[in-house]
Structure 1
Amino acid sequence: MDIAAVTTQSFDAEVLGSPRPVLVDFWAPWCGPCKALAPVLDQIAAEHADSLTVVKVDIDEHPEIAGRYQVMSIPTVILFVNGEPTATLSGAKPKAAILTALKPWL
């Protein structure tokens, strides 16, 4: 599954305005752990497509979004529910750890 990229221009509409929970992956092309996490997020996006939207933000191209949510290290994933940041995970976590954190919203 191809995870859609959101931009500064589309973030508010696609993430904050979404009626579904949205998991946002803050990453950068040069980040090794981000590359390791990508296939895990692809699996989660495919397996939970009916209840969860997964998107990504390149922090080099859109640093203002990372700054708004105080993303200090990457990879960081933040779950937004009803436009509010609800859960944050930093580092390349295994699939089971991510799903455990997301379980109340899946």
Structure 2
Amino acid sequence: MAIIHVASNELEKYLNTDKVVLLNFSASWCGPCLRYGDILKQLDEELGDSVQIVKVDTDKYPKLAKGFNVMGIPNSRFYFNNQFEKPFVGVTSLETLKEKVLRVKAK
């Protein structure tokens, strides 16, 4: 599966899936976001059949970020079974993300 970069009016269609969705808010100028982007690519390569990664550029879509109360980036949250999990801010390791995907899917 590929990482999807969405516009604000496209988000809903990417949430309607049987996969765990990792919604990530970031910006191109953000150093930690760039590092985290590499980790998200690895996650997609390893678990692409189980997780859909959806990225939102906070500079292009500030209203969408504001609607999700994004105060710092990178900011991520999982979505599964019509429910968002608690957001987490900062860079998270690949192993931790894999564990979180499995935990969310098990609910």
**Is TM-score (shorter-chain normalized) higher than 0.5?**
yes
Paired AA for residue 5 in structure 2:
A
Render the CA deviation track for 1:3-40: whole Å, top value 9, x for unaligned: 2101111001112x223211011100010000011110
Residue 35 of structure 1: aligned partner: 34
Tell me what 1:12 maps to.
12
Superposed displacement of residue 2, structure 1: 4.9
| Offset at residue 50 of structure 1 (A) | 1.2
- Report what 1:97 is aligned to: 96
The answer as to whether partners of 1:78 and 1:85 remain within 8 angstroms in 2 is yes
Question: Following TM superposition, where does structure 1 have runs of at least 4 consecutive aligned residues deviating by more than 6 angstroms?
Answer: none
| 2:79 alignment counterpart | 80
Greater mean alpha carbon deviation, residues 27-36 or residues 1-10: 1-10
Q: Contact 1:26–1:57 at 8 Å: present in 2 too?
A: yes
| 8 A contact 1:24–1:79 mirrored in 2 | yes
Task: Let me know the Cα RMSD of the aligned residues.
Answer: 1.6
Retained in 2: the 8 A contact 1:80–1:87? no
| 1:78 partner amino acid | R
Task: Report deviation, 1:99.
Answer: 2.2
Unaligned runs of 5+ in 2: none
| Number of equivalenced pairs | 105
Deviation digits for residues 77-104 of structure 1, max 9, x if unmatched?
1111123212422101221222232221
How many percent of aligned residue pairs carry the same amino acid?
A: 29
Partner amino acid, structure 1, of 2:43: I
User: Could you tell me which residue of structure 2 aligns to residue 65 of structure 1?
Assistant: 64
